[in-house]
Structure 1
Amino acid sequence: MTIRASKLWLGYGVAMAWFYLLLWPLLGIKPEGLQFAGSFAVWLKVAVAAAILVALYQLKQGGLFRFLEAPSRAVGEAVSAAAGRVPRWLSLSLLLACAIAFPFFTERYAHDVAISVLVYIMLGLGLNIVVGLAGLLDLGYIAFFGVGAYTYALLSVHFELSFWLCLPISACFSAIAGCIIGYPTLRMRGDYLAIVTLGFGEIVRIVINNWMSLTNGPNGVLGIKSPGAYWFKDGSFEHIWLNHLEQLYFVILALAVFTILAVYRINYSRIGRAFEAVREDQTAAELMGVNTFRLKLLAYALGAVFGGLAGSFFAARMKFVSPESFTFIESAMVLAMVVLGGMGSIPGVILGSLALIALPEVFRGFEMYRMFVFGGVMAVMMIFRPRGLWPAKRMGARSEEKD
């Protein structure tokens, strides 16, 4: 017991020393010189809070809080039983009603954040097909987002096509791009697959950046039209442009709901089962008659479709697209949402999107070190919940992890 305690406090000391080495350059290096008081004050608060947590953990391991375990377990089981008696359709209907009523009780800033969250939910669910279901590590997924955005941008500016007409066209072009990018990678696994998909994602961004005659290069495409709709007024139908954030919120909400339903149907279909077979053990799936080549290609295409739909809305909302919006950091962000929420889990991806997009806005009051706090919270979360916030029920190890 004494050895465990000494190791625990030794780890605490090392962690706090490392934390100060990271914190001091952020708060102590200023134009007027080097300062230590501000960074030490912040470090001291964190160190005291961490020491209290370590002490409580040590007391828990010693059995001091054992008398609370039985009542807390009983309360948890009662809550779980009560939640299990609520029909799923009722809980989902209430959740959808809250989402529909959200813009009527919030301000413009909240609408902007909610739109960004819904866009990333679509991207996360699309990548979840590739990474979570099929077990293919894709680091260039944002390329499909860019293909969808530029498809609608060019069709809107040069041919003045409607947003709703361009949605399926963008999805088709993104699926074709998914097949083109996915085809050379189908014989690869693990790290090699990650490197190749990263390379193809960068190729798409560089092509967009250098094809001046088509994409206008780094200058981007300007003058993209917003989605339109017909409104019944004064006895006739009148066409209006959906320019306000409240109106755009309902457009992306409809697209996100469609994505959730589509991914759910894919997950519990024969194709979804085949994806999982490839993820769990590709060799065994081939021996059972699963055409792994076609299924991997289909996974890339289906994932790219939802990325293209999200890209079309992104272009319509911003009215401007440029290559800077489709960098590798965006692919890493979407992949982090999938891993943090739980690979293969639809609710997990939604929670991961909320955590990575909405929480930094909640922590905005922390000013310059809010992202530092946020990153630390995410790291601790992955240490204590490595399978994600809401792990999938049907989830094993990917085949390349076994290799």
Structure 2
Amino acid sequence: MYTPIYLFIAIRYLWNMHLTNFKKIFMILSITSIMISTVAIIVTISMINGSEHDFKKNIMSFVPHLIITNHDQYVRISDFPKKILQINNVETVSNLISKEVIAQSKNNISMAEIIGIDATNNYNIKNYNQKNILKILKSGQYNIIIGAQLAKKLNVCIGDTINLILLSDKKNNFSGKIFNQHIFKIINIFSTNNEIDYYQIIMNKQDSLNFLDYSKNYISGWRIWLYDPLHLNLNTFKKITNQFILLDWKLQKGELFKAMKIEKYIMFFLFFLILIISILNIFINLTTYIAENQCVIAILQTQGLSNWKIMLTFIIFGSSNVIIGSTLGTIIAMALIIQSNFLKYCINYFVHESNISLIFVPYQILLINIASILFAIFATLYPSWRAIQSKPAQVLNNE
């Protein structure tokens, strides 16, 4: 005898040669729709995960996760709030010398941002793809390294000089705003394929302090690097830094990150919408199947099969489509992600984008499959419960 009997009956009625062509097509379409929705959501979520990874790697590597400063961007180094180092999400802290200036060459003029660096900035200067950057930017020589796009805009190259102009907030009764300017020599050009190539200028820290006319032991602020900048909690820092101003990365890149989050939520919504439609089809199919097989159910009851086993039979029978579709969809999606050349070719054909990362997270795939199966089980509960409500004597009396 086949045991457990309810599993044998469910599998037997799931697919057999006596099913009509319409039922076979309906079942295949149900499995296919769930499979396609599973493939779509896993591939899409993997693309969004890849976008977030690229966002952290290519953008967050240059944008300070958090800047602590004051209104004048002029703070004493000794005033650093040391309790910040006790926050778990803080990875490293470095002094920040930064100011917006006007860069003027013989042919053009542009706004720029100067960054003063020293040995304490090793965390991020490696991202500029420059070797021995601290050795070539020696103090007192007023050498600089500028972004490739900024150099293109100013029409300058290595060996040329540019004039950097700093507007001051100080007032002068005769000339109004006063400004400071100095000639700097370009000794190299960096290219990061990032937006900082359009405006950033790197120079020695001491040269930047002299150019900005900063007093000894004063800086623009402190740059905070976090382990996970996407989960920055400003309230934790505000409790420690009441007298300072906090400038987080969301001021510059917040809208881009929000757009990425919205895309993820929309993808989840579309996935569940397709899933619900597929499960509704299963609900209708199971309800119709139970109505057509009332006699079979009554015979099983008279043969001594308990009500809960009959319910379990129809739950397994109804949810099998989702289990099969989700499993096939997961296998196909994983194969497409691992062998990503086909996906990248299809994407490039439509959007002409070559740098696409695909990163799958196992727990996300597990949650997608669990959600599909749970929805399917819930959809089969009511039809399965209705199946055992009929009286076997009344049903068989009409036969």
Q: What TM-score, normalized to structure 1?
A: 0.20
Higher relative contact order, chain-length normalized (CA < 8 Å, sep 6+) = 2
Q: What TM-score, normalized to structure 2?
A: 0.21
Q: State the structure with more CA Rg.
A: 2
